[in-house]
């Protein structure tokens, strides 16, 4: 099985961390987004969506991190611990409830803060306007509040006593703004305690390995500055930032 990944990307980290934590063997195929490798002819043959992560299992190609995660759980059902995606109807529904919610909420809001901090100055040639950053941080705060108050409540993990794909997908998104210096845990001790439990459940060393690149996100900003595809990417980001 091949996984096409760039660990700067949150959905790539969820797939990478899960495969490694569950000891599912794979070939790591690096697609460096900051170098525009998603636009290469070679990668275009794998995925016309030109986004990572992508999984290739024999001739079967799958995009979308949450679909890849579920595929891996089901393919390796005999060895993957049940808590990642419980067989119990209602517990599995809780995982899927979170996975459905996160795309337009924690993922969208955490990514926006990250992109404003890491890319806005390069793309727009100016500092991020204060009110734009304040609005993005407020949206992120709202998502973090929902994660705490609606999904976690007083439980150890989103589904209950054990870690699941929902916690994994949540933590990788949270680490995106952390990578550009936003202290999302400030004033949120319960969320911080949860994040420590998730790191432990994944394995602290593995977690650090998966997040090494994003914790050096300033290097990414520099690489993007030298990206020969920047002119092509500019209109896309300008639209996103406007
Ligand atoms: N919903 C997709 C998101 C995939 C995605 O947006 N990947 C980004 C990196 S986080 C990407 O490859 N972007 C490249 C581009 O847009 O050029 C998933 O969960 O896998």
* Sign of the CA dihedral running 183, 189, 191, 195: positive
Atom of ligand 1 nearest to the CA of 31: 12
**Does residue 33 line the site of ligand 1, with CB under 6 A?**
yes
Instruction: Enumerate the CATH 1.20.1050.10 domain ranges in the chain, comma separated.
Output: 84-218
- Give the Cα separation of 137 and 202 in Å (integer): 28
CA 203 to chain centre: 17
- Helix, strand, or coil (residue 5): strand
Token output for 167: 């916690």
pTM flag (> 0.75): yes
Ligand 1 centre and the CA of 160: distance in Å? 29
pLDDT digits (tens, 9 = 90+) for 43-80: 999 999 999 999 999 999 999 999 999 999 999 999 99
pLDDT digits (tens, 9 = 90+) for 17-32: 999 999 999 999 999 9
* Contact yes or no for 113/241 (Cβ under 8 A): no
> Which of 3, 39, 52 is the best mutation target for the ligand 1 pocket, counting ligand atoms within 8 Å of the beta carbon and taking the most?
52
Atom of ligand 1 nearest to the CA of 64: 20
- Give the Cα separation of 99 and 139 in Å (integer): 18
Ligand 1 centre and the CA of 70: distance in Å? 17
Q: In this predicted structure, what is the pLDDT of residue 24? A: 98
* Contact yes or no for 111/117 (Cβ under 8 A): no
Fold of 84-218: Glutathione S-transferase Yfyf (Class Pi); Chain A, domain 2 (1.20.1050)
Instruction: Enumerate the CATH 3.40.30.10 domain ranges in the chain, comma separated.
Output: 2-81
pLDDT digits (tens, 9 = 90+) for 176-202: 999 999 999 999 999 999 999 999 999
Atom of ligand 1 nearest to the CA of 53: 20
* Contact yes or no for 224/34 (Cβ under 8 A): yes
In CATH, the number for domain 2-81 is: 3.40.30.10
The 27-30 sheet, strands edge to edge: 27-30, 2-5, 54-57, 60-63
Nearest CA to ligand 1 atom 14: 51
Nearest CA to ligand 1 atom 13: 51
Atom of ligand 1 nearest to the CA of 15: 20
């Amino acid at each position: 099985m091949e996984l096409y990944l760039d660990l700067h990307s949150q959905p790539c980290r969820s797939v990478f961390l899960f495969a490694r934590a569950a000891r599912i063997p794979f070939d790591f195929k690096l697609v460096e987004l900051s170098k525009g490798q998603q636009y290469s002819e070679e990668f275009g043959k794998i995925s016309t969506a030109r986004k990572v992560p992508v999984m290739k299992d024999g001739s079967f190609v799958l995009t979308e991190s949450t679909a890849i995660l579920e595929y891996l759980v089901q393919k390796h059902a005999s060895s993957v611990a049940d808590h990642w995606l419980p067989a119990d109807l209602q517990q599995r529904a809780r995982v899927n409830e979170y996975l459905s919610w996160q795309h337009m909420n924690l993922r969208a809001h955490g990514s926006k803060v990250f992109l404003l901090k890491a890319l806005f100055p390069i793309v727009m040639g100016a500092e991020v306007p204060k009110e734009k950053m304040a609005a993005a941080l407020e949206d992120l705060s709202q998502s973090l509040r929902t994660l705490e108050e609606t999904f976690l409540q007083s439980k150890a993990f989103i589904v209950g006593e054990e870690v699941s794909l929902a916690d994994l997908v949540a933590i990788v998104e949270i680490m995106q703004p952390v990578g550009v210096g936003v202290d999302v845990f400030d004033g949120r001790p319960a969320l911080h305690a949860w994040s420590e439990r998730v790191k432990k459940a994944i394995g602290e060393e593995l977690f650090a390995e998966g997040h090494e690149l994003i914790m050096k996100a300033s290097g990414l900003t520099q690489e993007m500055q030298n990206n020969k595809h920047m002119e092509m990417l500019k209109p896309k980001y300008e639209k996103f930032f406007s």
